[in-house]
Structure 1
Amino acid sequence: MERRLAAVLAADMAGYSRLMEADEQGTLARLRTHRIELIDPAITKNNGNIIKTTGDGMLVEFQSVADAVRCAAEIQERMRRRNADVPEDRRIQFRIGINLGDIIFDDGDIYGDGVNVAARLEQLADIGGICVTQAVYEQVCDRLEVAFEDLGDKALKNISRPMRVWRAVIGMPATQPGPGGDTRPQAVVKPVIAVLPFDNMSGDPEQEFFVDGLTEDIITELSRRHELFVISRNSSFVYKGQPVNIRDVAKTLGAQFLVEGSVRKAGSQLRVTVQLIDTSVDRHIWAEKYDRKLDDVFAIQDEVTSAIVATLPGRVEAAQQDRLVRKHPASMAAYECVLAAKVRHHRSSKEENLEAQTLIERALKLDPDYAHAHAWRGCILGQSWVYGWCENKEATFAEVVSELEKALALDDDDADVHRILAAINVNRNDLTKARYHQERALALNPNYDLVVVQQGELLTWLGQPDDGVHWIRKAMRLNPHHPERFWSHLGKAHFAGRRHGEAIEAFLHMTAMDVMQHAFVAAAYSHLGDRTAAEAHAARIRALDPAFRIGDFLETLHYARQEDVEHLREGLQGAGFAA
């Protein structure tokens, strides 16, 4: 026999008997899949040793307490994602208990008080939850990005002494004791934002429902953004009607950013003000006011909510980017790497794309199961595929598809995943499948400018350019700081709608045009009868791409209607290109 100090993880499947009775083969198959794809790899990655398994549970030994807690948190968080679209009565979920104690090893098994305590803790845990002892908590409370809730002393079955028990709060930012026993936020992967109840400045108690509804809508809509961690309504509404100290609220809620605002009614006019505060430097980083006529209070509520939640994430990203320029890349967390990669991607050059690839790969090394990072790796590689910045286009496209499939398996509720899948299927000319993913992305996040502009682009390909213009202009309103390429989408939509002058005007907003944009402008001038301008843009095309051919160019586009293809072909012929 060998005796040593070790961390013991005891896991048990909730409702095992009920699930087996309802569907024995299906339950065993799903459990085996979870073991192969998720649980066993998580244990191996975190240096665990599976001691024994039963039909509905397992016992795992770790030499590091931190590894044990990391493993448990990863399993429970990933299982939560996997169960998101599974009916509640068919979900496979676990309870986990972790203890640090003296363990006896004998003939491949473990025994002792340390094992018994872990097993009893597992029985105390919520379904999908984790309970740990005081010894475990003391080892990891200031080392891991996991929050804990003190459950106090608990009497455990067949354990003579009461045990101090802590519950891990999965998905919440960690806190640690600070001077005087208060708490201060630990570093977290995603920026944490709290929306405080807006103030009713109208002196009209009947407006209270509108003010509270506006706040709740903003919280709900911001929660759709997977790159943010949004504090729940129940936590932020504690401060309703109270004077608040920004630093105290930030410490209590663990929030890096706070949103506060007010609503004032005067006659038939309504003014909503909103401001975003970076609590780490106690500085206002964005403020806006919205003046509306009080014709339909609910329509105003929807409009103002849309405007605020479309702008806020961009302002948060801008504040984060300011920090990144002062930070050595080696210290970046996964979220920050993704953020920096997005910045590089949006600059749309071969060199910046390569930098974006390096950053996104670093993010995935830090967190291989970060669905949002897989989605953006697909997007960044897709950019290199579209512009021909990759050596092997076929292999790159296969990698793009693979990344998106991984992202979809990890998180089917990320709007970016479906947005990029829609773009991939447009490039495959599978507009039916593209429409499915686009509609899913729009349902998940209707105020995301990149999703909204892509809706306009897709409708243009489908032969509905008037609707396309509507959606593209909406995206421009949602994000006044939109990428320059939105003008290109608008120009193509106007061209398909035979509004050639407006198409030219849109394209001329571009700082510099590529071959595709010059081609549309040349064709538009041709349809307007301005051959001189058309030929000038044709000359720019030949300078940029001496091998340009109408047929090759049209094959890169994705029109569903042949008449739209012929309309562009005729315009390019009129600009001087041979059929």
Structure 2
Amino acid sequence: MSRKAPEIDPKPAETITFGGFVFLTRNSELRTVEGKAVDLRSQSAEVLSVLAARPGEIVSKDALMQAIWPDTFVTDDSLIQCIADIRRALADDAHAIVETLPRRGYRLNAHPSDATDLDAAAVKERAKTRLSRRGVILAAIVLVAAAIGAYYGTEAWRAAPVRSSDMPRIAILPFDDFSAGADKGYLSDAVAEGIITELARSKTYAVIARNSSFRYRGKPTDTRQIGDELGVDYLLEGSQQKIGDRLKVTAQLLSAHDGSHVWANTYNREIGDLFAVQEEIIRTLAERVGRRIERPLQESGAARVSALHYHLMGIAEIRGNFSAARNELFRQMNLKAIEEDPNSQFGYIGLAWSYRNDAMFGWNEQDRDEALKRAAEYADKAILLAPDDAEAHNIRASIHTEAGEVEQALARYDQAIALNPSNSDILVRSTDLLLYVGRTDEAIDRIRQAMGIDPFYPDDFNWQMGWALWEKNDCGAALAAMRKMSTIPIGAHRMLAGIQACLGNKREAKEALAVFLQNTPSESISKERREWGKIWTAPGSLDRWIGHMRFAGLPEE
């Protein structure tokens, strides 16, 4: 354990028993009463150790956070994941062993005992060996923490979101789609996604990111379990059903603490009223939770809804496999969106992303400068049509980044994050620029911040972390980050090649680069140096990358 908070003073008991399990306090080891070891992640074991130090007592979240992560910023989502991990290991589905006391903390319902119930001699010998090693490690950690603590205390995390004790935390679950035939899936997750964005923008809620709350799609709603895992006070669930030109939306707000219904309503409207329905749900939800949102209703209309539909279809395609072919399909879907409604922002945002992708990855034989120019034109059009759309500012910031326009990119990212604070994707995308200019530690911090607000973050966060760790020349950790991806997409294989080259793995580097070159056969050393020379300004970083690409077999011309 990194450090214990002053309020936590371990009891002298060597073992704590609960629900058929025994926890050995000296070496933080969980076992069954028969003596069989139970696998538990190291941080989860540390959380359990802190709770075991005060069996039967309430330990506040703040005390636990200070004990486990004293010199590191994490959101309380990290603690929530550890608690969920402990409960899974203990099969504590009823939360009877590790009890949640809303807004107070957690309590381990356990009994202290001594080590005589187990093989005491063996246990103590193992504990002695582990503690000896651990003491050396902890001493080193304390010295390092003392040296850097003054700098990293609060200043380094000044921009990180802080949870207000009176700010409700809400998760919007994916709405069930009860449409039939060709109507099924027509709106995808449009209703729920719109509500997430609008509530996050209100600044009166802490809204869990889409990637995490949508993880519960198709699963029974165990309100208390989801509430504990996501660390929220309220859940909004519902359904949508399209029948011809009619849209029926049902929504209900639940207390995550006890599952009670706070509010429910049904909306039966014309399909063009989608955005008005979203707005009504948001306003009613705000009122029920005790806040008010005063804002003009968004424009609606069937054409606008249809444009959104094509845009979402395109996103689904490129999320399936980030490649040149999918990027072209993504572009075609967004062209259809513009055909449906040239006055809505969705298609222009999609086209801007498609040309930005071409520029960054050398896809579809696009000239980089021309691709970026077209991307900027579409992004500017989207901002003109929808100045409050966070995604429009996000893509414009990314284009500024690829063009080497540092100050403009930073300003756009700040605006996008302010418009939708729950969007962890925007946080991670903003680190492209930080890595290009050598602000690597800041980028890693921001990626971790995004992971904190999005407990079930998507694979590409690991891709970004791989790049960041490559920048720090910690290539073993970079490879580990890449391998956390469920599937490494074609576009990520260039980064994988660079990491393998950094590790001196020539065969693996060549194989990874060969996968990337399937989409970009014209890629070369001279092309990468020409295209990135102006924007990749971190001292020595581009030269190091070029060296690794040569090692992986990228041709000079």
TM range (shorter): 0.3 to 0.5
Find the structure with the greater CA-based Rg. Answer: 1
Per residue, is there more strand in 1 or in 2?
Answer: 1
TM-score (normalised: structure 2): 0.45
Q: Higher RCO, 1 or 2 (CA under 8 Å, sep at least 6)?
A: 2
TM-score (normalised: structure 1): 0.43
